[in-house]
């Protein structure tokens, strides 16, 4: 499929979401007229309006009138009123994967995929490139602190993009460099089995352009397996990073808290190595791995002779992507942190980061399960992933696009967690959760809110209540 030329009008259904809003920003930067609709006025909508988009709150067939093409979010139902109206009017309707080739045409694409870590790694790469003087295009599933936006049409030849596996979005890309952070089963509402998901990652890797580079985490079995299947493909390069590799491409050596010592490649054929030490502002061993991936990707993109000190200095100034271990505030010695963690792999990483950053604090994990299908499919792993928390509070499941599944609910999964944890409680409302935290969370403590839904409002209510405004 081919988008109409710049100057045309593109309508985005679900424009307020992280992925769609980033696409909207790139389209605006490329010279398109952008309209869109969303059911709620989310946090990203005002910025899009300021950037020139015309946004409707609510959905109506009239919103697609005048559009030359429509791009639809994966969350929209097949019978969505605006989709139906566009098709009736003969307006082409595209999914994200359909338009990414046009959106990235003429650029060298750095695509970051994986079950966890892709938003942060994508943001790290974009941050490094901007800091050292480049102007990359980018699409990120969170706001980049250095620019304040999640999407940008740059003047440089690099396009850094978070490669989402859901709905096979990443199969619309032809990467020059592909990074795979890890592969662990997720999105059971789209991938019926783990084998189906792995097959999609294999198809993604097969789309790397001739002479391109695959960068995978040697510490993750799924990523290593993908790397092994790619090895030896003509002029293509395959590189590992992490503590485990079959040969010394990237070796993470004795990480302590947020300091990493690594043997960093200085030339694209890895004929010379330099030892580089750098510190991160973001906590957790998973972020050390993300940083190693980012450095490897930047060096692979920019080639021989790059200033490693400049690259690592740039990375040291990275403060994190939006909603990734983001400190919301502090009151009376209780720190509130917002994190997007909703998969067991991400929950473990977020809790380990909290434990390493705040070793003397009690950790209160407030978790909002995300979708019934994920909770059902990952039931056993969820029950065992809260080991680094002192207290666990579970809210009702955030349904997102799904209908309820009988027997799968927040209270039931809490009983499973309680079998492996001394203090796990189910709380039916955000207000009750806030009240409990107000009574029981005493200094020094960290409230880590883990949610891909609307649970961060618990943190805001706690801080407002603590400040006497609620």
* pLDDT category of residue 252 using cuts at 50, 70 and 90: very low
Same domain for 309 and 164: yes
Q: How far apart are CA 416 and CA 351, in angstroms?
A: 18
Given this model, what pLDDT does residue 250 score?
Answer: 44
**Residue 160 maps to a domain:** yes
The β-bridge partners of 54 are 35
Same domain for 376 and 411: yes
- Answer yes or no: are the C-beta atoms of 72 and 47 closer than 8 Å: no
The three-class DSSP label of residue 11 is strand
pLDDT for 168-187, tens place per residue?
A: 999 999 999 999 999 999 99
Q: Of 316, 350, 374, which residue constitutes the final position of a domain?
A: 316
pLDDT beyond 90 at 254: no
Burial of 438 (0-12, 13-18, 19+ CB in 10 A): middle
Given this model, what pLDDT does residue 240 score?
Answer: 82
- Answer yes or no: are the C-beta atoms of 238 and 205 closer than 8 Å: no
* pLDDT category of residue 128 using cuts at 50, 70 and 90: very high
Structure tokens at 39: 């059911």
* Catalytic (active site) residue 402: no
Helices 96-104 and 18-29, packing angle to 10 deg? 30
Specify the CATH number for the domain of residue 418.
Answer: 3.90.190.20
In whole angstroms, what separates CA 283 from the centre of its chain?
A: 16
Residue 363: C-alpha distances to residues 7, 329, 381 (Å) = 52, 15, 20
Query: What number is the average pLDDT over the span 272-282?
Result: 66
Given this model, what pLDDT does residue 356 score?
Answer: 87
User: Which of 35, 104, 119, 122 is flagged as catalytic?
Assistant: 119
- Answer yes or no: are the C-beta atoms of 309 and 347 closer than 8 Å: no
Range of the domain at 286: 99-316
Largest CA distance in the chain: 65
User: Which of 33, 115, 162, 312 is flagged as catalytic?
Assistant: 162
Structure tokens at 174: 């032809």
- Of 191, 142, 136, 144, the closest CA to residue 168 belongs to 191
Specify the CATH number for the domain of residue 296.
Answer: 3.40.1190.10
Given this model, what pLDDT does residue 276 score?
Answer: 61
* Catalytic (active site) residue 277: no
Same domain for 397 and 358: yes
Say what the pTM is: 0.88
Percent of the chain at pLDDT above 70? 89
Q: Of 293, 316, 339, which residue constitutes the final position of a domain?
A: 316
Specify the CATH number for the domain of residue 31.
Answer: 3.40.50.720
**Residue 422 maps to a domain:** yes
- Answer yes or no: are the C-beta atoms of 396 and 374 closer than 8 Å: no
Q: How far apart are CA 244 and CA 236, in angstroms?
A: 21
Same domain for 170 and 308: yes
The owner of tokens 């969370």 is: 441
Q: Residue 379 belongs to what H/E stretch?
A: helix 379-383
Same domain for 259 and 312: yes
Total domains present in the chain: 3
Same domain for 282 and 338: no
Report the DSSP pairing between strands 252-256 and 259-265.
antiparallel
Half-sphere exposure of 109 (CA within 13 A, CB side): 27
Same domain for 177 and 136: yes
Least confident of 45-54, 87-96, 304-313: 304-313
* pLDDT category of residue 375 using cuts at 50, 70 and 90: very high
Q: How far apart are CA 116 and CA 27, in angstroms?
A: 27
Q: How far apart are CA 55 and CA 394, in angstroms?
A: 35
* pLDDT category of residue 269 using cuts at 50, 70 and 90: very low
DSSP characters over 385-407: S-TT-SEEEE---B-TT----TT
Same domain for 366 and 233: no
Query: What number is the average pLDDT over the span 7-19?
Result: 95
To the nearest whole number, what is the mean pLDDT of the chain? 88
- Answer yes or no: are the C-beta atoms of 161 and 122 closer than 8 Å: yes
- Of 26, 16, 260, the closest CA to residue 126 belongs to 26
The neighbour count for residue 275, using CB atoms within 10 Å, is 11
Same domain for 59 and 16: yes
* Catalytic (active site) residue 119: yes
Half-sphere exposure of 54 (CA within 13 A, CB side): 12
User: Which of 35, 104, 107, 118 is flagged as catalytic?
Assistant: 118
**37-71 burial code (b ≥16 CB/10 A, e <16):** bbeeebebbebbeeeebebeeebeeebbeebbbbb
The neighbour count for residue 265, using CB atoms within 10 Å, is 23
Same domain for 387 and 286: no
Q: How far apart are CA 457 and CA 398, in angstroms?
A: 13
């Amino acid at each position: 499929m081919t988008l109409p030329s710049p100057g045309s009008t593109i309508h985005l259904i679900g424009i307020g979401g992280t992925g769609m809003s980033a696409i909207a920003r790139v389209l605006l930067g490329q010279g398109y007229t952008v309209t869109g609709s969303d059911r709620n006025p989310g946090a990203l909508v005002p910025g899009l309006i300021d950037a020139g988009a015309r946004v409707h709150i609510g959905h109506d067939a009239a919103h697609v009138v005048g559009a030359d093409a429509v791009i639809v979010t994966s969350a929209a139902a097949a019978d969505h009123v605006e989709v139906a109206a566009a098709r009736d009017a003969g307006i082409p309707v595209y999914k994200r994967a359909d338009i990414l080739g046009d959106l990235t045409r003429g650029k060298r694409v750095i695509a970051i995929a994986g079950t966890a870590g892709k938003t942060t790694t994508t943001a790290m790469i974009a941050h490094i490139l901007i800091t050292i003087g480049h102007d990359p295009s980018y699409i990120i599933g969170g706001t980049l602190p250095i620019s304040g936006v999640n999407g940008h049409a740059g003047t440089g030849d690099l396009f850094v993009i978070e490669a989402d596996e859901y709905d096979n979005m990443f199969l619309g890309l032809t990467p020059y460099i592909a990074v795979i952070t890890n592969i662990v089963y997720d999105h059971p509402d789209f991938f019926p089995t783990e084998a189906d998901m792995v097959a999609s990652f294999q198809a993604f890797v097969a789309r790397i352009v001739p002479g391109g580079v695959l960068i995978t985490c040697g510490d993750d079995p799924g990523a290593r397996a993908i790397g092994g299947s790619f090895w030896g493909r003509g002029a293509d390069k395959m590189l590992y990073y992490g503590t485990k590799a079959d040969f010394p491409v990237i070796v993470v050596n004795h990480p302590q808290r947020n300091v990493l010592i690594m043997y960093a490649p200085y030339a694209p054929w890895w004929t010379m190595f330099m030892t580089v030490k750098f510190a991160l502002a973001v906590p957790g061993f998973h972020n050390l791995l993300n940083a190693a991936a980012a450095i490897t990707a930047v060096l692979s993109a920019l080639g021989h002779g790059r200033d490693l000190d400049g690259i690592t200095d740039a990375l040291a100034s990275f403060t994190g992507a939006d909603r990734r271990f983001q400190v919301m505030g502090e009151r009376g010695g209780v720190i509130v942190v917002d994190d997007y963690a909703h998969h067991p792999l991400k929950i473990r990483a977020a809790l380990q980061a909290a434990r390493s950053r705040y070793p003397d604090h009690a950790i209160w994990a407030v978790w909002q399960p995300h979708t019934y299908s994920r909770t059902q499919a990952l039931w056993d792993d969820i029950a065992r992933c809260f080991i680094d928390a002192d207290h666990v509070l579970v809210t009702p499941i955030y349904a997102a696009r799904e209908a309820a599944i009988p027997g799968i609910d927040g209270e039931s999964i809490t009983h499973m967690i309680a079998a492996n944890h001394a203090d796990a409680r189910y709380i039916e409302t955000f207000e009750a959760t806030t009240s409990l935290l107000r009574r029981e969370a005493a200094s020094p403590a960290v409230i880590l809110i883990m949610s891909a839904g609307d649970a961060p409002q618990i943190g805001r209510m706690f801080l407002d209540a603590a400040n006497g405004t609620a």
